[in-house]
């Protein structure tokens, strides 16, 4: 069995280096590719800043008469970004003048530079080479949480512009149509566009929110029941040319019949980790993808049996609480992930089930939670009979004390289903009458599975069969208690789950009406939040 090494996966997304380190510059191939690089328009034209954190100021400036001011707060790092068209397999140089504490300049999915403290303007420089099929790059600036306002000026991206001689856009997609609706999603199809070179993908647009698609169909999730929505579709080619929008198509979501007796628990909740990997502004991700829930990681122990974020940040009064408030203000919610692969866990540190239940209750009370997830991994929790039983009993206690609370167990798996420790966990959940709502497996790190779709379906079916035999459920009842928590792109074992594979897994999950769908992690889902958008189309 292999389990998840969360912090090791996908670390290539951002490598931060101290101020003053300058890589050897390349020969300039073109003028600055960025628009409004010195903010001399007096506006943020060309740039998109998180929330309302960005503004243009007249002082202090590095050159000209204007500069960017980014108001970083305890809950927002004031990220401002711009996307440009680039050439594949080509070297570029990015430079910028910044001042303030922990100001970052970088390329999404690539390298970043930062300065820890600069009272005057300081130059940051980095070089990067685009991927073999990369046609766009997102340049970003941001400060750091709680470090106050930073300034940036005279940003330059030097290199050849993308597109070459291809300036012809694809034709507009034809005959867009709704092919299915639920209370929270609309499925669409359309006729393919044509292009002089070739269409590389499509985008479904609703109220400014974009759902990417590689083929001629997509499901847009995170919608409101009994509501009419209007969609258009546009095509893109390798040169970055975008087609005109299709004719609009309008569809109305289905009726939400309300909870009723024994409502199903359904949740699409990708992981968001504030302790690593340049965490994005959750509200921006929600607007871009339609996702409503996040699994926020990780609640660990501090000084014994005391729950905190990452064993260091308090439950209340910090960046984590501010992010929860921002997510809820945007119409979403969170489920905390308690535990994980590494760190100081509550399960082993709380001596009794009653003390552990008390720790869980502190988390529930801090945020008025609807659900909690205990991510049980490694030898200290998953492979300990005593800790397994302690966690199950504690969850039984908090569920009895919090009517309506949903409880989730997340744990590793083999490619055939639960291993012996997973089987024991399920059997003990039955024996202790823990009334767990969802058993979520992590179908990856199988040792190098070549077909991640088949491996995920096999392991999930194995979990369903174990729940069916243990609890005496039907197939449908067992699937309703099943969850999948995947890993986007490369796993620690080198297995690759592409957006296409993740879409197939989601569609299989919808067809079998499982209860929960998640992946690790939004932090790694850059630059277009493609896996998050796919996950938002989970309807259960």
Classify domain 6-158 at the CATH superfamily level.
Galactose-binding domain-like (2.60.120.260)
10 Å CB burial of residue 6 (0-12, 13-18, 19+) is: buried
Closest CA to 40 of 58, 14, 27, 15: 58
pLDDT of residue 13 exceeding 60, the answer is no
Query: Per residue in 461-500, is it b (16+ CB within 10 Å) or e — as a string?
Result: bbbbebbbebeeeeeeebbbbbbbbbbbbebbeebebebe
User: Annotated catalytic, 377?
Assistant: yes
Closest CA to 136 of 154, 156, 152, 157: 157
Q: At 421, phi and psi to the nearest 5?
A: -70, -35
Please state, in angstroms and rounded to a whole number, the distance separating the CA atoms of residues 538 and 540.
6
Q: Which CATH architecture has domain 267-279+288-299+362-536?
A: Alpha-Beta Barrel (3.20)
pLDDT bracket for residue 261 (50, 70, 90)? very low
Please state, in angstroms and rounded to a whole number, the distance separating the CA atoms of residues 456 and 446.
10
> Looking at residues 143-170, what average pLDDT do you find?
82
Please state, in angstroms and rounded to a whole number, the distance separating the CA atoms of residues 185 and 190.
17
Domain definitions of the chain by residue range: 6-158, 174-252, 267-279+288-299+362-536
Give residue 348's pLDDT.
97
- Kindly report the average pLDDT of the chain as a whole number: 87
End-to-end Cα spacing for the chain: 28
The one catalytic residue in 203, 377, 383, 530 is 377
pLDDT of residue 399 exceeding 50, the answer is yes
Closest CA to 376 of 356, 362, 358, 361: 356
Tokens of 80: 């401002």
How confident is the model over 94-128, as pLDDT tens digits? Answer: 999 999 988 999 999 888 898 877 678 888 999 99
Its pTM stands at 0.57
Q: At 215, phi and psi to the nearest 5?
A: -120, -160
- 262: number of Cβ within 10 Å: 5
| Least confident residue range of 39-43, 447-451, 455-459 | 447-451
pLDDT of residue 10 exceeding 50, the answer is no
How confident is the model over 324-370, as pLDDT tens digits? Answer: 999 999 999 999 999 999 999 999 999 999 999 999 999 999 999 99
How confident is the model over 272-291, as pLDDT tens digits? Answer: 999 887 899 999 999 999 99
Q: Which CATH architecture has domain 174-252?
A: Sandwich (2.60)
């Amino acid at each position: 069995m292999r389990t998840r090494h969360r912090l090791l996966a996908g670390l290539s997304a951002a490598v931060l280096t101290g101020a003053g380190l300058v890589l050897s510059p390349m020969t300039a191939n073109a003028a600055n590719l960025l628009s409004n690089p010195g903010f001399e328009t007096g506006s943020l034209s060309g740039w998109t800043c998180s929330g309302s954190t960005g503004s243009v100021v007249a002082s202090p400036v590095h050159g000209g008469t204007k500069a960017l001011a980014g108001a970083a707060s305890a809950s927002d790092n004031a990220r401002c970004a711009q996307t440009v068209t680039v050439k594949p397999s080509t070297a570029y140089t990015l430079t910028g003048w910044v001042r303030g504490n922990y100001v970052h300049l970088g390329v999404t999915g690539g390298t970043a530079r930062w300065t820890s403290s600069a009272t005057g303007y300081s130059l940051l420089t980095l070089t990067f080479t685009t991927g073999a099929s990369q046609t766009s790059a997102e340049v970003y600036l941001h400060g750091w949480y709680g470090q106050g306002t930073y300034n940036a000026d005279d940003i330059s991206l030097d290199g050849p512009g993308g597109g070459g001689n291809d300036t012809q856009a694809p034709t507009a997609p034809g005959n867009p149509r709704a092919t299915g609706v639920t209370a929270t999603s609309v499925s669409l199809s359309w006729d393919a566009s044509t292009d002089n070179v070739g269409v590389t993908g499509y985008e479904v647009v609703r109220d400014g929110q974009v759902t990417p698609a590689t083929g001629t169909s997509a499901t847009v999730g995170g919608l409101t029941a009994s509501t009419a929505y209007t969609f258009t579709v546009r095509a893109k080619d390798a040169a970055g040319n975008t087609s005109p929008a299709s004719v609009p198509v309008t569809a109305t979501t289905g009726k939400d019949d309300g909870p009723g007796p024994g409502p199903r628990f359904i949740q699409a909740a990708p992981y968001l980790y504030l302790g690593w990997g340049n965490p994005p502004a959750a509200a921006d991700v929600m607007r871009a993808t339609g996702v409503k829930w996040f699994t926020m990681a990780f609640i660990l122990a501090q000084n014994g049996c005391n729950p905190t974020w990452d064993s260091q940040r308090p439950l209340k009064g910090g960046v984590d609480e501010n992010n929860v408030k921002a997510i809820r203000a945007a119409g979403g919610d969170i489920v905390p992930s308690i535990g994980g692969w590494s760190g100081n866990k509550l399960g082993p540190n709380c001596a009794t089930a009653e003390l552990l239940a008390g720790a869980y209750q502190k988390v529930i009370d801090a945020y008025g939670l609807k659900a909690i997830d205990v991510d049980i991994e490694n030898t200290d929790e998953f492979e300990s009979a005593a800790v397994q039983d302690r966690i199950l009993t504690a969850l039984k206690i908090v569920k009895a004390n919090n009517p309506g609370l949903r409880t989730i167990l997340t744990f590793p798996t083999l490619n055939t289903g639960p291993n012996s420790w997973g089987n024991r966990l399920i059997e003990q959940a039955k024996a202790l009458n823990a009334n767990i709502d969802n058993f979520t497996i992590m179908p990856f790190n199988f040792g190098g599975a070549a077909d991640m779709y088949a491996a995920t379906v096999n392991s999930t079916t194995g979990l369903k069969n174990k729940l069916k035999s243990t609890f005496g459920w039907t197939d449908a009842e067992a699937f309703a208690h099943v969850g999948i928590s995947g890993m986007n792109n490369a796993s620690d074992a080198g297995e690759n789950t592409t957006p296409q594979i993740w879409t197939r897994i989601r569609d299989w999950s919808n067809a079998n009406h499982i209860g929960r769908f998640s992946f690790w992690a939004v932090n790694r889902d850059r630059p277009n939040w493609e896996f998050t958008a796919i996950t938002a189309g989970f309807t259960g």
